[in-house]
Chain A
C-alpha cells in the first residue's frame, strides 16, 4: 500500500513534468514552427508600443535566443525553485512555484491563483454535494421504478441537463431567480464572501451557481446511477439479501447501491479534480472570481503566464484526483489490491 502510494506519487510528478513540457511546447515551440522569431515572441512581453531596440533587449533578457531546452529548463526551474527576473535596474525574485508575471497587472501569477482557489473550491464542493445527492437519489428511484412516469420524466430532464450549456441554464436561472425578481434567492452574481467570514452569505451568494453547475453534473450521475442500479439489482447477491428477509430499503441501499457505487466514486473524484481547475463557464456566467474566470480573462487578454499557470494547476489537480480515486477504489471494492 505505502509502496503503491510512493510509486504513484513519483508517477504523478513525472506526469506533471510531461504536462509542463507539452504546455511549454504549445506556447514556445509551436509558434516558432509557425514562423515566429525570438523577437516576435518577446513582443508579447513588452507590448505593442515598444520600439525595435526595446524588443531586442527584452528578447535577450527573457532568454529567447537560448536553445529551447535551456528555456524549458529555466521555466521548469521557476516552478520548482523560483526564478530571478532581471528587469534592467534590478533583479526581482519570484518565489516558487513561479509561473511568471502577468503582462497586464505585472503581479506574479501564483498568489493570484491562490487567492482565487477558495472561490473555485467553494463552487466545486458545494455543487458536488448537490449533484451527488440529487443525481444518485434520482438514479436510484428511476432504476427501482423503471419505465414509470417518474423514470421517464427524470431521464428526460437528465438528458436536458447533459445537453444544455451552462451559459444557457445559468442565464435563465439568473433571470428567473435574481435581479430583484420575487423569487430572488441569490445575489446578482459577481460577489463572493469567504466561508469563514460569513457562512450564510457565502451560501447565499453561491446557491445559484451551485444549482446551475450541479444540474449539468447531476444529470450524468442520475443516468450513471440508474444504469448501475439496474445492473446490481439483478445480481444474485440481491436475491440472497432478499432471501435473508431484509427489508427492501436495506436491500436497495446497503446491498444494491453499495454494488453500484464504484463507478460513481471514480467519476466523482475525477469530476471534482477537474473542476478544481476552474468551472470556466459557470464562473464566467456568474462573474465569480475563481480560477476559471481567471483563465478566461487571461486567454482573452493573451496573458501568457496566467494561461500557463492555470494549465499547470489544473493538471496538478487532475493528477491528484486520479491518485485519490485509485486509492478510494481499494476502499470501495475490497477485491481491488493496490500493488
Chain B
C-alpha cells in the first residue's frame, strides 16, 4: 500500500442553500519522497481536500465519506482525538498567507515551540533551541534573535520561512503546502520553492503542493492532479500534464499561464465563464458549459458524467472525447497557439 492513499473521498457541507459538494469522489496515491501538485481554480476543492486529510473538518458540519490511508492507518473513520495526535507530527501543513496564519499576539518562536512541545515532552529551553535551529535551517538570519520577534516584524518571505519551520518542527512525513507562495513576491517565491525542494529531499517526506499556479507545480511536482468542481479531471506525471495534456480544462490552464517565451503582443487566453457552483453542479461533465469542445461529444457532455479513465501509463483523464480526438485536438489546435514563436 502507498504511503498516502485516498479512496473516493467525499467532503460535503450542508448549507441553507443546499449541499455543497466540495470534494466529490477523489482518489489518488502518494509515496514518500514524491511531490504531488494539486491544481485548480478557486473553489475546485483543493484546500478542502488538504484540510480533510488533516482531519480539520472532523467535528464540524462536513459530511465526510471514503477512505484516507496514511502509512497503513485509515483516518476518515478514526477518532478525532487520534487524528489530532498525528496532526503536526506525522502530517503538517504550510498555509497560504503567513501573516493571517500565524497568531499576531505570540512570537514566532513561541509558536514553533508550541508546535514542537505538543508532540515532544521536552523543556521549554530544549524546544527553544530546536526552534532556533529550525529558523536557521529555513534561512532566517540571526535565528537566535529573530526567534523572539512577532510575525508582524517579519517580511512576507521571512514569515513564510517561519511558517515552514513551524510545519517542519516535528519532522512530518506528509507535508501539505496550500498556496505556499501566492502571497509572496516573485523573487521570494523562487527562494521558498527552492527551500521546500531541499527540505523535502532532506526529510524524504511526501509533499502535496496545492496551487492555482501551474508555474509552481512545474517547478516542484513529480505528479500533477487537476481538480475541477470537486473532482479530479486529469492526473499524470508532470511531463504528461505539460507535454501531453488531454483535458480541455488543462489546456485552458496552460493557455492562461503567462510565459516569458511568448510574444508580448499575444494575449493570454483565459478560460471562458466562471467556476461551477458546487451546489448545482452542471449536469453531465461539470466543465461542459465552458468547454469549446463540448459539441464534439454529441450531447453526452450535458447528460453524462464522464469516467476518469487511464489513457496511457498512469495518465488519467475525465473526458467524453475519445483518446484520438483529444490527442488530435491538442496537437493540431491547442499546442500551436501556445507555442507560436
Tell me which residues across on chain B come within 8 A of A18, comparing CB atoms: none
Contact with B along A236-257 (1 / 0, CB 8 A): 1101111111110000000100
Contacts known (A243-B87, A245-B119, A246-B118); A236 close to B97, Cβ less than 8 A: yes
**A106 contacts B by Cβ under 8 Å:** no
Q: What are the residues of chain B within 8 A of A259 when measuring CB–CB?
A: 103-105
Asked if B115 and A244 make an inter-chain contact with CB atoms under 8 angstroms apart, the answer reads: yes
Residues 303-339 of A, flagged 1 when their CB comes within 8 A of B and 0 if not, give 0000000000000000000000000000011110000
When the two chains form their complex, are residues A258 and B150 in contact, meaning their CB atoms are under 8 A apart? Answer: no
Q: Are B114 and A246 within 8 A (Cβ)?
A: yes
B contacts with A, residue count (CB < 8 A):
28
CB-CB under 8 A from B114, the residues of chain A are 244, 246
**A235 close to chain B: CB less than 8 A:** yes
Binds A, one of B15-23, B88-96, B136-144, B307-315: B88-96
Q: Assess whether B88 is in contact with A243, with CB atoms less than 8 Å apart.
A: yes
Give, as a whole number of angstroms, the nearest-CB distance from A317 to chain B: 28
Quick one: which of B84, B87, B104, B115 contacts A334, CB cutoff 8 A?
B104
A245/B56 in contact, CB under 8 A = no
Instruction: Across the interface, name the chain B residue whose C-beta is closest to A256.
Output: B103
Cβ contact of B84, chosen from A237, A247, A255, cutoff 8 A? A247
Distance (Å) between the CB of A230 and the closest chain B CB?
A: 15
Of the residues A240, A258, A333, contact of B101 by C-beta under 8 Å? A240
Look across to chain A and name the residue whose beta carbon is closest to the beta carbon of B150.
A334
Residues from chain B with a CB closer than 8 A to the CB of A236 are: 95-97, 100-101
With the chains together, A237 CA to B105 CA distance in Å? Answer: 11
Q: How many angstroms between the C-alpha atoms of A253 and B40 in the bound complex? A: 36
B269 at the interface (CB under 8 A from A): no
Cβ-defined contact, B115 with A237, below 8 A: no
Q: Give the shortest distance, in Å, between B57 (CB) and chain A (any CB).
A: 11
A235 and B119 contacting across the interface, CB-CB below 8 Å:
no
> A245: which B residues are within 8 A, CB to CB?
84-89, 115, 118-119
Interface residues of B in 300-332 (CB under 8 A from A): none
Chain A proximity mask over B216-248: 1 for CB below 8 Å, otherwise 0:
000000000000000000000000000000000
Chain B, range 65-105, C-beta contacts under 8 Å to A:
84-89, 92-93, 95-97, 100-105
Q: Which residues of B contact A333 (CB under 8 A)?
A: 104-105
Residues of A within 8 A of B88 (CB): 243-246
Also in contact, A258 and B105, with CB within 8 A (given A235-B100, A334-B150) = yes
| B174 CB–A CB distance under 8 Å | no
| Contact of A335 with B104 at beta-carbon distance under 8 Å, contacts A244-B87, A244-B88, A245-B89 already known | yes
Quick check: A241 and B103 within 8 Å, CB to CB?
A: yes
Chain B CB within 10 A, most for which of A242, A243, A246, A334: A243
Bound form: Cα–Cα A223–B95 in Å:
31
Which range holds the interface residue count of chain A?
Answer: 10 to 19
A124 to B48 CA separation, bound complex (whole angstroms)? 49
Min CB–CB distance B130 → chain A (angstroms): 14
Closest residue on chain A to residue B81 by CB atoms: A247
Chain B residue contacts of A332, Cβ below 8 A? 105
Is the C-beta of B152 less than 8 angstroms from some C-beta in chain A?
yes
Given contact pairs A245-B85, A245-B89, A335-B152, A240 touches B118 in the complex (Cβ within 8 A): no
Among A235, A237, A242, A333, residue most surrounded by chain B Cβ atoms (within 10 Å) = A237
Contact status A237-B100, CB under 8 Å: yes
Residues in chain B near residue A258, CB distance under 8 A: 103, 105-106
Q: Which residue of B lies closest to A238 (CB)?
A: B103
Q: Please, how many angstroms separate the alpha-carbon atoms of A335 and B102 in the complex?
A: 13
Whether B54 is near chain A, meaning CB under 8 Å from some CB there, is yes
Indicate which residue in A235, A239, A247, A334 contacts B56 across the interface (CB closer than 8 Å): A239
* Chain A residue contacts of B87, Cβ below 8 A: 242-245
- Knowing A235-B100, A259-B105, the reply to whether A243 touches B86 (Cβ < 8 A) is no
Q: CA of A244 to CA of B118 in the docked complex: distance in angstroms?
A: 8
Closest to A335 in B: B152
Cα distance A38–B89 when bound, in Å? 82
Q: Closest residue of chain B to A232, judged by CB? A: B103
Which residues on A sit within 8 Å (CB–CB) of B150?
Answer: 334-335
Closest to B149 in A: A334
Is the CB–CB distance between B103 and A334 below 8 Å?
A: no
A316 CA / B101 CA spacing, docked (Å): 42
Known: A242-B56, A245-B88. A237 touches B119 (CB 8 A): no
A-B contacts, 11 of them at CB < 8 A, read A236-B95, A241-B103, A243-B54, A243-B56, A245-B85, A245-B89, A246-B118, A258-B105, A259-B105, A334-B105, A335-B152
Which B residues have a C-beta under 8 Å from some C-beta of A? 51, 54, 56, 84-89, 92-93, 95-97, 100-106, 114-115, 118-119, 150, 152, 166
A-B interface, 9 closest residue pairs, ranked by CB to CB distance from nearest: A245-B88, A245-B87, A236-B100, A244-B88, A244-B115, A237-B103, A236-B101, A243-B93, A240-B101
With contacts A246-B88, A334-B104 known, what are 6 further pairs, Cβ within 8 A? A236-B96, A244-B87, A245-B86, A245-B119, A255-B103, A335-B150
